[in-house]
Amino acid sequence: MGLWILEPKKREGDDYVPGTAFIGAGGTVDSTTTVTGELDPNLKYDLTGDVPIVLVPQPSDDPNDPLNWPLWERDLITFILCLVSVSLHLILTRTNPCPEHCSRHLYLLGTVLLIVSSVWAGLASNYKSFLWARILQGVAVCPFETLVNISVGEMYCVHAIGKRMALSNFALFGGSFLTPVIVGKITGELGWQWPFFLVAIFTGALLPLVVLWLPETTYNRPAHHNTTLSDQAHFQYTAVSPRHSFLQRMSVFTGRKTSESPLKLFYRPIVLLLHPAVMWGMLTQGVMIGWTVMIGVVLAAFLGPPLYFTEVEVGYMYTGAFIGSLAGLAITGPLADWSAKYLAKKNKGIYEPEFRLYLVIPQTIAGCLGLYMFGVTASNTTKYGWFWPDFFFGLELMGMTMGAISSALYLVDAYPSIAIETFTCLLLFKNFFSFALTWEAFNWLRDTGTKDLFIYIASVQVAVCSLTLPMYFLGKISRDFMHRHDILKMVGLDTGKSGELENLAVEDLFG
């Protein structure tokens, strides 16, 4: 039992647990400060730091494997994805998931549709036309909300993904809180059409980057590359082809990465709603995002007494939220990678995905304190004014960003084979939960009052964060159980993806 993470029952000859990996040097038990023994020639390492760190997942020998691309190229792809993700939030659209295993053609289609639908919405002359434009916008942003974290997860190893995943989650969630600040002013000065026109202009400027520098990142890597345990696996590969040319990499469609039917892929996320880790992720990420809907309803009341804000001034109140999400990014990004390596060191070089769950601690402190105190201060703006509600709104957003990053990192590390379906479930829950709160928020505030309602909300959030304790202690047992009792396989929805070795052939898995 390492760092209070309970071990599953030992099975002779088969101790593989998805997500658990050795990231120390060779056979050493120390991953960051000392090196004893020789480096294992069968493993690949990150040699840029003071001490070699085993790469997890292990890159193949194929130059087309995203893990083998130059770091600057991967970081540029991540930056482009984040830029487009920020632009889509200016239209304030919630989406439905895209059950697909390739990303490039969906990103291209989404970007083009976002440009077209934004121009359409700005030119709409009646409600019916405007409604259909907004529906098309929902389709357009779908690939980005569903697949960005997946694409980032496919390009980096465990010890280096933290800050990149933090940036992508900030772009997906935190960036949306800059929208009211900008859009309110633009609408007041130029009219309601111009936010849509500006989205079209900004996204149009990004389209060449999407076309020319956003390749397909999906790569069918064998499952055993996700661990370096089992007596240090010996990886031997057949000859691989050279890296694809620029034109090949930038093809609109590079082929499907699975032979399964789209209908089968569509059903997979529905079944995984019962997965314990997925349920934890939906609650940890989606519930705190949903509370921002309640806060938005309270801020709308600032239009009346005693503050008598204008619509533009209410929009400015989201400045604190945006700053809070920036603070969450600044803290969690560096902390995610550092804590993973530090805790692996304490655990004799063995990395467990549950180490990501320590990030829920600052989420609980910042997020729950923000909710409690927002209710107290927003219920008496005569005494506290506008600053303190805005400050605690920012604190809630800091916690929200930390929770989104923590849940994303844990699910990518612990369950890489179902990452797409997992993030689809998170998106579904977030959207339905937020819609439900929108439907009832005003009635709850009217019947309960701001202070009491947010005391209830903050207490619920404390309970949600407390679910991380059993997930931490029992997470490895759960990973082992779900690996050996695959619910997708039980209902005939397994894809056999781990057996698709179209990019490389493994001749000897474990020597």
pTM: 0.86
Looking up residue 141, the CATH number of its domain turns out to be 1.20.1250
Neighbours of 460 (CB within 10 A): 15
Q: Tally DSSP H helices, then E strands, for the chain.
A: 19, 4
Helix (H) or strand (E) holding 351: strand 350-351
pLDDT value of residue 1 = 62
Phi-psi category of residue 37: left, alpha or beta, with phi > 0 → left and psi -120 to 50 → alpha? left
13 inside domain: no
SS3 25: coil
For residue 12, is it within any domain? no
Q: How many residues does the chain have?
A: 511
Residues with Cβ < 8 Å from 443, sequence gap 6 or more? none
- At 113, which helix (H) or strand (E)? helix 104-123
Reading the block at residue 404, the tokens are 């989104």
Is 27 a residue whose pLDDT tops 90? no
Domain contains 504: no
In a domain, 295, yes or no: yes
CA 111 → CA 134, 177, 386, 503, distances in Å? 15, 21, 38, 29
8 Å CB contact between 31 and 25 = yes
Q: What is the pLDDT of residue 251?
A: 83
Distance CA 224, CA 57 (A): 9
Task: Give me 270's structure tokens.
Answer: 């529905």
Q: Give the mean pLDDT of 17-24.
A: 85
* Amino acid 258: pLDDT: 63
* The two three-digit tokens of residue 345, written as one number: 């060191």
From the CB of residue 388, how many other CB atoms can be counted at a distance below 10 Å?
18
Measured CA to CA in angstroms, residue 308 lies from 304, 377, 390, 487 at distances of 5, 17, 16, 55
Phi, psi for 493 (deg, rounded to 5): -110, 10
Q: Lowest mean pLDDT: which of 19-33, 113-127, 320-334, 399-413?
A: 19-33
Residue 47 has pLDDT above 90, yes or no: no
Quote the pLDDT of residue 167.
Answer: 93
Residue 403 has pLDDT above 90, yes or no: yes
286 falls within a domain: yes
Query: Is 95 domain-assigned?
Result: yes
**Range 439-466 average pLDDT:** 94
pLDDT at 503 over 50: no
The predicted pLDDT at position 229 comes to: 56
How far CA 384 is from CA of 133, 138, 306, in Å, comes to 41, 39, 11
Lowest mean pLDDT among 3-17, 103-117, 232-246, 277-291: 232-246
Q: What distances in angstroms separate CA 272 from CA 95, 250, 280, 282, one per listed residue?
A: 19, 33, 12, 11
| Mean pLDDT value of segment 470-483 | 94
The pLDDT tens digits for 237-291 are: 545 678 888 888 888 876 666 666 778 888 899 999 989 999 999 999 999 999 9
Q: What confidence score (pLDDT) does residue 93 get?
A: 46
Residue span of the structural domain in which 55 resides: 25-30+32-499
**Number of domains into which the chain is organized:** 1
Instruction: Give 37-46 pLDDT, tens digit per residue.
Output: 567 777 888 8
Whether residue 4 is contained in a domain is answered as: no
Would residue 11 count as lying in a domain?
A: no
Average the pLDDT over 142-155 and give the result: 88
Which of helix, strand or coil describes residue 88?
Answer: helix
* Dist CA 60 CA 347 (whole Å): 27
Mean residue pLDDT across the chain: 84
Distance CA 315, CA 505 (A): 56
Q: Which pLDDT tens digit goes with each residue over 201-221? A: 999 999 999 999 999 988 877
Type of residue at 160 = A
For CA atoms 120, 121, 122, 126, the dihedral sign is positive
Rounded Cα distance, 183 and 134, in Å: 16
pLDDT of the residue at 89 = 67
pLDDT at 497: 45
Whether residue 346 is predicted with pLDDT greater than 50 in this model: the reply is yes
pLDDT at 227 over 80: no
Among 73-87, 248-262, 337-351, the least confident range: 248-262
| pLDDT interval class at 330 (50, 70, 90) | very high
- Whether the predicted pLDDT of 505 surpasses 70: no
pLDDT at 203: 93
| pLDDT average, residue stretch 109-133 | 94
pLDDT (0 to 100) of residue 223 = 61
